[in-house]
């Protein structure tokens, strides 16, 4: 489409918004020297792919602009270097049928190469790197941790808010980090400090486009971080249930396991939006399967590359890269197997990563190589439920004010009450990516442990 034709279209059409909801409907648009400029603050990092739709609510035709985003004097500038096409039916957009992406964005190798050439991917903040280093060192003392936390005023304030919350019911307010470590306990503070720091690193307000006429599809970052924290807790439970792997290491690997999805959502929105739509509209399809179907590039490959650029330990990177394919992990590296089982547990509970409601396949290889039988699974599930319940303050304070229903049920201690029965029904009725005896056994044990309860009495 020529510049003159697009300029003419802009006079007749209004901005419908973007599928990811970050560009508001009705924003004024102009086409200047081959660049589309929208009168709205840039909601994307520079060089991110963005897909904008122009049209009229009562019209059947519209314009799709797919390009690279830049901030230009506080406005959103889009360089349509990939595609400027006419959308033949805007009505199809409302039902989630999006135009086909150009071949360049359907080639996973070309797409991965573009990711590696992005210039503004964030580096790992020094405080996160230092807390991570301390978390993985068995000789770390409470004084070491207090000293690092005290050097970060924002993190210190968050932890003080946590210690002074109604949850702990202290008679007197505390104002010193070393006292927080004493009150909350070394392990709780270590977990909280690392989690808060990771969340802050990627914090971004989720915005949706109002009355855009586009499908209601956006990446729920609140649900995403709830899932990541759930997998971290589950990984710790699996490791401690096995007794042969450090729970702290497993927690960290679980926390980072889906970090590649943040890159997908912020920098590769057109591709990720299609994956979200596919996962939400196809029962039995996980978000990971939808990513691969949509563009051929899954979040695990991006996440491994990103964390390698941060020089994170190999066990974290291997857990990220292989947790969807644990059978390819090294024999002496149980981290991908642990995170794989933890991911299945967390999804089965209902803490899903932002789209779809499907329990992923449980690879028999993971159970066999970990040496997990039914009695061990029962111990792991119990530890998982107790860990989620003990972590309730972190869920409520770190990832939003709305605590998911499954966590509320576990906080209450399970049992045979109406809420637990409803959660049990949800666990058993959720669509499965692939049915298997191992997964059926896991779901049965999850329901049995839920009905038995008992973890609340240990708190």
Residue 364 confidence (pLDDT): 93
Residue length of the chain: 459
CA distance 77 to 416: 56
Half-sphere exposure of 333 (CA within 13 A, CB side): 20
CA distance 320 to 314: 10
Q: How many CB atoms are closer than 10 A to CB 208?
A: 15
Residue 426 confidence (pLDDT): 95
CA distance 22 to 26: 12
**pLDDT tens per residue, the chain (459 residues)?**
555 666 766 777 788 888 888 888 888 888 888 888 999 998 888 999 999 988 876 667 778 889 999 998 889 999 987 667 777 777 788 778 888 888 878 899 988 988 888 877 767 888 888 888 887 788 888 889 899 999 999 889 988 887 887 667 777 888 899 888 888 788 778 778 888 888 777 665 444 444 456 776 778 888 888 899 999 999 999 999 998 777 778 998 999 999 999 889 889 999 999 999 999 888 889 999 999 999 899 999 999 999 998 888 899 999 999 999 999 998 889 999 999 999 999 999 999 986 767 899 999 999 999 999 999 999 999 999 999 988 877 776 654 557 889 999 999 999 999 999 999 999 999 999 999 999 999 999 999 999 999 997 665
- The first and second tokens of residue 127, run together, are 């405080």
Nearest one of 209, 198, 197, 200 to 43, comparing CA atoms: 209
Residue 2 confidence (pLDDT): 57
What one-character-per-residue DSSP string does 325-338 give?
Answer: -GGGS-TT--HHHH
Q: Which CATH superfamily is domain 221-458 in?
A: Hypothetical protein af1432 (1.10.3210.10)
What one-character-per-residue DSSP string does 26-55 give?
Answer: T--EEEETTEEEESS---S-TT-EEEEEEE
Residue 158 three-state SS: helix
Q: Residues 35, 75: contact at Cβ < 8 Å?
A: no
Could you report the per-residue pLDDT of 339-371, keeping only the tens digit for each? 999 999 999 999 998 676 789 999 999 999 999
What residues does 49 pair with on adjacent strands?
68, 268
Half-sphere exposure of 443 (CA within 13 A, CB side): 23
Sign of CA dihedral 116, 121, 127, 128: negative
- The first and second tokens of residue 330, run together, are 């090294």
pTM equals 0.91
Domain ranges of the chain: 3-101, 135-194, 221-458
């Amino acid at each position: 489409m020529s510049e003159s034709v697009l300029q003419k279209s802009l006079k007749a059409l209004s901005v419908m918004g973007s599928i990811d909801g970050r560009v508001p409907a009705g924003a004024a648009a102009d086409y200047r020297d081959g660049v589309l400029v929208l009168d709205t603050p840039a909601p994307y990092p520079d060089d991110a792919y963005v897909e904008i739709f122009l049209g009229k609510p009562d019209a059947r035709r519209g314009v799709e602009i797919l390009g690279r985003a830049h901030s230009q004097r506080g406005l959103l500038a889009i360089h349509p270097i990939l595609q400027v096409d006419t959308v033949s039916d805007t009505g199809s957009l409302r039902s989630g049928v999006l135009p086909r992406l150009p071949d360049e964005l359907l080639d996973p190798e070309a797409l991965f190469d573009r990711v590696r050439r992005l210039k503004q991917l964030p580096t790992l903040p020094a405080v996160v790197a230092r807390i991570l280093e301390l978390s993985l060192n068995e000789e770390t003392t409470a004084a070491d941790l207090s000293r690092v936390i005290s050097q970060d005023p924002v993190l210190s304030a968050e932890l003080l808010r946590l210690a002074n919350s109604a949850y702990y019911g202290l008679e007197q307010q505390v104002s010193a980090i070393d006292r927080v470590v004493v009150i909350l306990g070394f392990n709780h503070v270590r977990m909280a400090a690392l989690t808060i720091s990771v969340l802050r690193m990627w914090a971004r307000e989720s915005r949706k486009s109002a009355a855009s006429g586009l499908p209601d599809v956006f990446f729920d970052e609140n649900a995403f971080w709830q899932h990541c924290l759930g997998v971290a807790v589950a990984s710790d439970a699996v490791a401690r249930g096995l007794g042969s792997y450090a729970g702290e290491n497993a927690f960290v690997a679980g926390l980072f396991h889906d970090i590649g999805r943040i890159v997908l959502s912020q920098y590769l929105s057109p591709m990720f939006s299609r994956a979200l739509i596919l996962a939400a509209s196809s029962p039995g399809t996980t978000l990971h399967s939808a990513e691969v179907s949509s563009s051929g590039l899954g979040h695990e490959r991006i996440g491994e590359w990103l964390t390698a650029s941060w020089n994170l330990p190999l066990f974290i990177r291997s857990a990220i890269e292989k947790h969807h394919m644990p059978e390819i992990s090294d024999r002496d590296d149980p981290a991908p197997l642990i995170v794989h089982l933890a991911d299945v547990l967390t999804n089965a509970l209902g803490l899903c990563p932002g789209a779809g409601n499907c329990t992923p396949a449980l690879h028999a290889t993971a159970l066999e190589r970990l040496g997990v039988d039914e009695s061990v699974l029962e111990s792991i599930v119990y530890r998982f439920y107790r860990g989620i319940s003990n972590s309730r303050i972190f869920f409520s304070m770190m990832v939003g004010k709305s605590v998911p229903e499954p966590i509320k049920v576990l906080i209450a201690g399970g049992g045979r009450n109406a809420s637990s029965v409803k959660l049990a029904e949800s666990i058993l009725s959720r669509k499965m990516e692939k049915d298997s005896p191992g997964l059926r056994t896991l779901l049965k044990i999850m329901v049995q442990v839920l009905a038995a309860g008992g973890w609340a009495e240990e708190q």
